[in-house]
Amino acid sequence: MLARIRTAALHGVDARPVVAEVSVTQGLPTFTVVGLPHGAVREGRERVVAALKHSGWSPPPRRITVNLAPADLRKEGSAFDLPIALGLLVVSGVLRPDDVEGLGFFGELGLDGGLRPVRGALSLVSGCVQAGAARVIVPPDNGTEAAHHRGVEVRVAASLTELVEGLRGDRPLAAPSPPVPRRTRPRFDLRDVRGQEIAKRALEIAAAGGHNVLLLGPPGTGKTLLARRLPGLLPPPTRSETLEVVRVHSVAGGEGASEVLGGRRPFRAPHHSVSSVGLVGGGRPPRPGEISLAHRGVLFLDELPEFGRRTLETLRQPMEEGVVTLARASGHWSYPARFLLVAAMNPCPCGHFGDGSDRCGCDAAAVARYRARVSGPLLDRIDLHVPVEPVPFEVLRGGATGPSSDDVRARVCVARERQRRRLEGTGAQSNAEMGPALLRRHAPIPSTVARLLQRALDRLGLSARAYHRVLKTARTLADLDGASRISEAHAAEAVQYRELDREMRTRGSFAGSGPNSA
């Protein structure tokens, strides 16, 4: 007898449709799983047998063959436990073939027959739908996430016994738990940061246009404090953005999916000891890295020069394209990586170079070597270089000043809506994502602005990429002001944020007289 159960296999952040074919034939009792099963899939035989016995059933004492089709697709994870167990119940006569027709299943089985959650639930539901399922039954802890997939009915079952009773019609299967309410208030408020008006302005520009930021200043000046408030300045994620991020976090097996479903954008802050695999993704089996977990959110790299040089260089392609593609001997995987980078660094190894005190003992060569750990091509891809200076005592002890995160986010949302209308149908969602062709169309500059930018280009030695990024920043400044065209004031302010370009040009290296040298 042969049974077919619809399910799915993860491949990157997507899922491929899979059919678990269970066959029972005459012969010595054996249990074989074929179809490129790896790791937890092979071990699932023992879980399935134990779960069936503890639930009151036993697999038939015959030759059992399970084929996970298509057979040339690698299968990873424990999500195939439930489809295999149901196939055995069908060939054993406990369930009829009609009981599982048009349904999709995935889930891990405990030895007692309980259903446990698996990673990638949202993607797996999509794969089951592609396999022809009109209704998908999942473990309870995967139910809320799975229910966000439109166009399919989702039900949950806590155990194999409960599921069989539901399939027989003895009891109705429960609906998933309702989604968590969305939290719109930022976790950290910008008004908590004393002083640093220039840096606050830069964060507003970054949020409004999706621009990358580098905060440069001595320790204790508030760089981390500022970075943690950037997610609260971004517009709430749209439904499509939320589902994109949930798929990544769910496939990675982390806890970030619930935060995103609650209305918050991701904030990732990996330690500087992170490997290139941990940052961009990989491993066996491949998993998303930190840049993909920061998709549609913020990636914060504190102490930027302390990261490995080769690790930092892996950021260059994803920063341009918004996606990371891993090419391995076993296949290719692509993960989304449209993140907003916020990096922070000290001006020198000891951190006190140029802070107005006598504590720094670093010579010019040491400062140059320290800053040279961050390559020019990577700096080229960072739009805003922002000095963060020590805050006077009078400002520290004073009350909260300046706009709140809610106030800034309201302005950011208006600027983003202007960009959305202007860039609709182009594939870009923010000014930072515009290519040269879109820049020529949507960021034209009058002759007076062109002359200003030419002087800046000659004086700072900007590359073509840096020049385009200045234009994108100027376009964002115009959007914040509600202007249809870029003015000289917008261009001049955008040029001012190329701090490190100025130092490199005027001193031939990063070893200037301080983080704010002109």
CATH of the domain at 215: 3.40.50.300
Is 397 in the same domain as 253? yes
Is 164 in the same domain as 201? no
What's the rounded Cα separation, in Å, for the pair 477 and 431? 10
Residue 204's H or E segment, with its range, is helix 197-209
513 within domain boundaries: no
Is 244 in the same domain as 370? yes
Residue 204 pLDDT > 60, yes or no? yes
Q: What is the CATH number of the domain that holds 104?
A: 3.30.230.10
Tokens of 411: 């302005």
Residue 514 pLDDT > 70, yes or no? no
431 within domain boundaries: yes
Is 43 in the same domain as 125? yes
Of the candidates 287, 371, 365, the one whose C-alpha atom is nearest the C-alpha of residue 328 is 287
Of the candidates 228, 117, 258, 190, the one whose C-alpha atom is nearest the C-alpha of residue 411 is 190
The percentage of the chain sitting over the pLDDT mark of 70, rounded to a whole number, equals 95
What's the rounded Cα separation, in Å, for the pair 470 and 495? 6
Is 397 in the same domain as 499? yes
> What is the overall mean pLDDT for the chain?
90
* Amino acid type, 244: E
Residue 382 pLDDT > 80, yes or no? yes
Summarised one tens digit per residue, pLDDT across range 41-78 is 999 999 999 999 999 999 999 999 999 999 999 999 99
pLDDT band at 328 (very low <50, low <70, confident <90, very high): confident
319 vs 358, residue with greater confidence: 319
Domain encompassing residue 424 = 190-507
pLDDT band at 503 (very low <50, low <70, confident <90, very high): low
Is 421 in the same domain as 463? yes
Omega of the bond leading into 140 within 30 degrees of 0 (cis): no
Residue 399 pLDDT > 60, yes or no? yes
Is 324 in the same domain as 289? yes
Best-predicted range by mean pLDDT (161-165, 286-290, 506-510): 161-165
Question: Can you say whether residue 331 is alpha, beta or left, with left for phi > 0 and alpha for psi between -120 and 50 degrees?
Answer: left
Of the candidates 460, 480, 399, 27, the one whose C-alpha atom is nearest the C-alpha of residue 209 is 480
What's the rounded Cα separation, in Å, for the pair 83 and 67? 11
pLDDT at 181: 63
160 within domain boundaries: yes
175 within domain boundaries: no
Is 333 in the same domain as 198? yes
- E strands, 350-495, in order: 384-387
pLDDT band at 263 (very low <50, low <70, confident <90, very high): confident
Is 264 in the same domain as 405? yes
pLDDT at 177: 84
518 within domain boundaries: no
Is 144 in the same domain as 221? no
Q: Are 306 and 298 in contact (CB under 8 A)?
A: no
Which distant-in-sequence residues (6+ apart) come within 8 Å of 369 by Cβ?
none
Rg over alpha carbons for the chain, rounded to the nearest Å, is 28
Tokens of 110: 């405990």
pLDDT at 180: 66
Tokens of 348: 């020198």
pLDDT at 510: 41
Burial class (CB within 10 angstroms; exposed 0-12, middle 13-18, buried 19+) of 425: exposed
Residue 518 pLDDT > 50, yes or no? no
Count up the domains in the chain and report the number.
Answer: 2
512 within domain boundaries: no
Is 351 in the same domain as 447? yes
> What's this model's pTM, rounded to 2 decimal places?
0.89
93 within domain boundaries: yes
Residue 184 pLDDT > 70, yes or no? no
515 within domain boundaries: no
Which distant-in-sequence residues (6+ apart) come within 8 Å of 20 by Cβ?
4, 5, 6, 7, 66, 67, 68, 80, 83, 84, 87
Is 259 in the same domain as 162? no
Q: Which residue has the tokens 């309201």?
A: 410
CB contact burial 151-185 (16+ within 10 A = b; e otherwise) = ebebbbbebbbbbbebbeeeeebeebeeeeeeeee
